[in-house]
């Protein structure tokens, strides 16, 4: 089994890499020292500029706090919420994190600042209504996007 992990990915906390190691997954880009910028240059060189410019799209399971069970219904919820937020707010960055105590909506600073109290209340109602049937917590928070913030790190 091969992974698309690249050298830049090693700079972030990635608990999935330990699971990959245990299961013998190989990382050709890492083995060759290839980073994201090089992958983009290779795509352009091979005549695929549309691939070179694709934004990062981390796995939906990276939105679930470490230690919580990965459930397909929860992943569908995350995808649905992020799609709705992108369509209605057009943020530069959006991530929905599922934590033990809340569903966190993370946005880029400008989009977060543009959300009125009424907007937040409306989003909270929608998120609670969609999350409740899945047994998710009723808490909803709005916060600035921070890469890797779903993970719990060992001290």
The separation between CA 84 and the C-alpha centre of its own chain, rounded to angstroms, equals 15
Q: Residues 99, 150: contact at Cβ < 8 Å?
A: yes
Q: For the purposes of burial, counting CB atoms within 10 Å of the CB of 71, is it exposed (0-12), middle (13-18) or buried (19 or more)? A: middle
Instruction: Say what the pLDDT of residue 41 is.
Output: 96
Number of domains in the chain: 2
pLDDT at 1 over 60: yes
Q: How far is it, in rounded angstroms, from Cα 89 to Cα 83? A: 10
Q: Are residues 30 and 66 in the same domain?
A: no
Q: Residues 88, 126: contact at Cβ < 8 Å?
A: no
Q: Are residues 48 and 64 in the same domain?
A: no
Selection from 140, 148, 132 nearest residue 63 by Cα: 148
Q: Are residues 30 and 81 in the same domain?
A: no
pLDDT at 112 over 60: yes
Among 17-21, 40-44, 111-115, name the one with the lowest average pLDDT.
17-21
Confidence of residue 155 (pLDDT cuts 50, 70, 90): very low
153 within some domain: no
Proportion of the chain above pLDDT 70, given as a percent: 95
Q: Are residues 35 and 65 in the same domain?
A: no
Range of the domain at 45: 7-52
pLDDT tens readout for residues 22-57: 999 999 999 999 999 999 999 999 999 999 988 777
């Amino acid at each position: 089994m091969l992974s698309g992990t690249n050298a830049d990915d090693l700079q972030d906390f990635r608990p999935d890499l330990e699971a990959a190691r245990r299961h013998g997954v190989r990382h050709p880009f890492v083995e060759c020292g290839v980073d994201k910028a090089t992958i983009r240059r290779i795509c352009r060189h091979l005549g695929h500029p549309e691939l070179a410019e694709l934004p990062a799209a981390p796995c939906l399971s990276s939105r679930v706090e470490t230690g919580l069970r990965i459930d397909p219904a929860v992943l569908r919820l995350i995808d649905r919420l992020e799609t709705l937020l992108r369509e209605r707010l057009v943020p530069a960055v959006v991530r929905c994190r599922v934590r033990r105590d809340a569903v966190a909506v993370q946005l880029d600073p400008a989009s977060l600042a543009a959300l009125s109290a009424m907007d937040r209340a409306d989003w909270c109602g929608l998120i609670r209504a969609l999350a409740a049937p899945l047994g998710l917590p009723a808490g909803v928070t709005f916060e600035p996007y921070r890469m890797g913030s779903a993970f719990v790190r060992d001290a």
